[in-house]
Amino acid sequence: MNLKPVIFAAVRVVLYAIPVVASALIIKTDAGIVIDGGKFGEGSQTEWMQQMYLLLTSIIFILAGIRSQRHQAISYLFGGGALVALIREFDVYFDKIYHGAWFPVAMFVLLLSIYLVYRKRQQIWENLEEFFTTPAFGTFIAGFLSVFVFSRLFGTKKVWRALFDVEKLEPVQRWVKNAVEEGSELFGYTLLFIAAIEFFVYISKKLKE
């Protein structure tokens, strides 16, 4: 009986539990902190953790592309996408320059990413087909849906007004809404970070074959 795959899987579970537990602890900490009269706002540790995961996700995908020229199209696509999302998360800081200042910066990064992917356009479909078969794919999709679909829909005021049976959310009720929305986003970003690691490990193994 070959125990190596079982041990490898167990190690992965333990290692990936670390960022998940860290995210949960950050949310727990923020639950007791009021910043600028609110909880889970722009200055919260939860927001900071989201930004950190996005930055790491972008860096890891880009490094995967640098490491393997055969996978540069998908690496720059996902790495650039994560960087654009990071810039959007920094909107509160860009707004100190002028309202909406994040947008031209994000567009520049997006166009640069599209250009880099276009240069490797012959790889893109082959890269995607290969990515769909990797362990990273399921985790990536779960993270993407958690951030850009579930948290957005679950965080709408209409849902929480109906839940609390009120016309207007009171501060404490908004804090609950923010905790769920930002917590869902953080968990999604955690999954995207794990997916990036999985992809980098996959690329590294392919290069050794």
**Per-residue pLDDT at 35:** 79
Average pLDDT over residues 126-153: 93
pLDDT band, very low/low/confident/very high, at 31 (cuts 50, 70, 90): confident
Classify residue 9: in a domain, yes or no: no
pLDDT of 97 over the 90 cut? no
**Per-residue pLDDT at 1:** 66
Classify residue 28: in a domain, yes or no: no
Classify residue 35: in a domain, yes or no: no
Query: How many helices and strands in the chain, by DSSP H and E?
Result: 10, 0
Classify residue 198: in a domain, yes or no: yes
In whole angstroms, what is the distance from residue 179 CA to residue 44 CA?
11
Average pLDDT over residues 165-188: 89
pLDDT band, very low/low/confident/very high, at 163 (cuts 50, 70, 90): confident
Phi then psi for residue 90, to 5 deg, are -90, 15
- For the chain, the domain total comes to 1
**Per-residue pLDDT at 41:** 79
pLDDT band, very low/low/confident/very high, at 114 (cuts 50, 70, 90): very high
What percentage of the chain has pLDDT greater than the value 70?
99
pTM of the model: 0.91
Task: Provide the residue range defining the domain that includes 130.
Answer: 49-208
Classify residue 3: in a domain, yes or no: no
Classify residue 166: in a domain, yes or no: yes
Angle at CA of residue 92, ends 156 and 155, nearest 5°: 10
Of residues 39 and 153, more confidence is placed in 153
